[in-house]
Amino acid sequence: MNTSIFGKPLYDVTTDDVRLFCKSQTKEGINLDYKKDLSSSKSIVKAIASFVNTRGGWILVGVEDNKDDKPVIPAVGIDFQDHLTLTVTNTVLSYMSPPAIPVYHVCPPDKNNKTFLIMYVPESHEAPHWLFNKKELYIRVSDRSSSGTWEELATSDQWEWLRNKREKSVELRKEIKDELDYRFRTHDVWDEAENGITGSTILPPANRRDPDTVDMLNLTITPYYPTEAILEVRQSYDLLGDLNINDYYGTSDRFPAFLDHRNVFQSGTEIYRTMDKSTRKYFTVLHITGMIVYKETILFLSNPPKNSGYEPENYIELTRIMARLDQFLSLSNEVYKKAGFVGLIQFSVFINGVDWMRMKFPVNVDMSKIYKSPTGDFYWSDTILAIELNEEKDRYEVIRKIIESLMFMFGWKDFNEDIMKNYYKKANRFTTFL
């Protein structure tokens, strides 16, 4: 597992890395807490409970903070001893209901036998987590000036929110997604009317309730529990423009394409553009809650030579999908790092194709069998930690699972992963391990 605060896998973090991080003078906040030691078990468990009930975060034990909420330099650490993590685990099991165990890392001790205990506390899907015989419920606040502490007793309204958090989050995610899909449809309808588009460049499906939307790759990534804005509207606009994600597929030099056409709206920034007389559509939107949506036309109609005996076929390109998955996850990683979001995210992939569409492989792949999808619809979804996007190997593994599942839909039950590896090597991607 990787971290967004140390820039390396958590299990590789050393005492020197922690001390270097402390020199950056990063203040405590909604996602970060410093603890001098483990002497106050109640202070530790309150911090853990407030993180799991809010947006997750990091606790660095062995770092003392000053009045400005910045770490005291030099960071001394705590004495290395066996069972440091067991001490915290027993505290959680004793005081928290239901218990939520952090992800631990104890740094190898330095020459003075000093170490740091690092805890990553993910946001929990089992919230609310109560403390002290279910008498106290804490949340993490973004500003301690009003209460003097980062942990705050939840109000009755916040109790209700935490009690129904999963259901409310599902509803809110759906509402935001519906809003963004509606914005795409509005652009789409206006564009077709403006350009006089009357038909599709694809063969009509045999049975389809909504044939006007059949040709898109839909990628959506969002905080699993969207409860508040993690960006301002202006930030969403600047962030998309500042990120430098290489578009090695060739649509543009950067991903997403058409960054000069960014438009702000009440809840974020969007890009909608078309090519080839509006038959190819591109849509990107960054919502202030951290939801990112990308849509692109990926279904095309083949043009066989005259008198060849071949009929036109609908097809999608595997390399296009692999490139977009990589670029979209890289974009999302940069957004969440800039926003300081490290919690749970939901990533979903939807292809709404047509019956018996064909998969087109890289030109250097010799395929003796034609692979087609009977239905043309593909859906994949998973929940991961945002910090895992920061590690190339983790991003690649997510993509591998998606492509393997996609090819299963096309009837290729023993997908050859070398196709992926060769393509990414050629594109100079995932160079740290391929």
Enclosing domain of residue 80: 10-163
Residues 225 and 251 in one domain: yes
* Euclidean distance between CA atoms 422 and 408, whole angstroms: 20
Segment (H or E) for 119? strand 117-121
What's the average model confidence in pLDDT over 256-272? Answer: 95
Q: Please give the pLDDT value at position 208.
A: 41
- Among 163, 187, 202, give the residue marking a domain's end: 163
CATH number for the domain that contains residue 80:
3.30.950.30
Residues 92 and 185 in one domain: no
Please report which confidence band the pLDDT of residue 1 belongs to, taking 50, 70 and 90 as the band edges: very low
Q: Is residue 431 one of the residues assigned to a domain?
A: no
Q: Give per-residue pLDDT as tens, 36-50.
A: 999 999 999 999 999
Q: Please give the mean pLDDT across all residues of the chain.
A: 87
Residues 132 and 211 in one domain: no
Residues 147 and 177 in one domain: no
- Among 116, 132, 163, give the residue marking a domain's end: 163
- Which of 204-241 are b and which e, b meaning 16 or more Cβ less than 10 Å from the residue's Cβ? ebeebeeeeebbbbbbbbbbbbbbebbbebebbbebbe
Helices 84-95 and 41-53: crossing angle, nearest 10°? 70
Residues 299 and 386 in one domain: yes
- pLDDT over 80 (residue 201): no
What's the average model confidence in pLDDT over 216-235? Answer: 90
Q: Give per-residue pLDDT as tens, 83-126.
A: 899 999 999 999 999 999 998 999 999 999 999 999 999 888 77
Least confident interval from 5-9, 72-76, 216-220:
5-9
Residues 225 and 135 in one domain: no
Residues 245 and 272 in one domain: yes
Residues 154 and 238 in one domain: no
- Among 140, 163, 186, give the residue marking a domain's end: 163
Please report which confidence band the pLDDT of residue 226 belongs to, taking 50, 70 and 90 as the band edges: confident
Q: Is residue 380 one of the residues assigned to a domain?
A: yes
Number of H helices, E strands in the chain: 9, 23
Q: Please give the pLDDT value at position 147.
A: 58
Query: For the chain, how many structural domains are there in total?
Result: 2
Please report which confidence band the pLDDT of residue 269 belongs to, taking 50, 70 and 90 as the band edges: very high
Within 8 A by CB and 6+ apart from 188, the residues are 281
Sheet bearing 377-385, strands edge to edge? 263-265, 268-275, 280-287, 292-297, 216-223, 344-352, 377-385
> Strand pairing of 151-153 and 216-223?
unpaired
Q: Please give the pLDDT value at position 415.
A: 84
Q: Please give the pLDDT value at position 8.
A: 76
Residues 390 and 241 in one domain: yes
Torsion of CA 61, 62, 67, 70, to 10 degrees: -80
Please report which confidence band the pLDDT of residue 72 belongs to, taking 50, 70 and 90 as the band edges: very high
CA distances from 249 to 39, 104, 219, 429 (A): 55, 39, 17, 12
Q: Give per-residue pLDDT as tens, 48-62.
A: 999 998 888 899 999
- pLDDT over 60 (residue 367): no
Q: Is residue 369 one of the residues assigned to a domain?
A: yes
Q: Is residue 2 one of the residues assigned to a domain?
A: no
CA angle 158, 159, 163 (to 5 degrees): 115
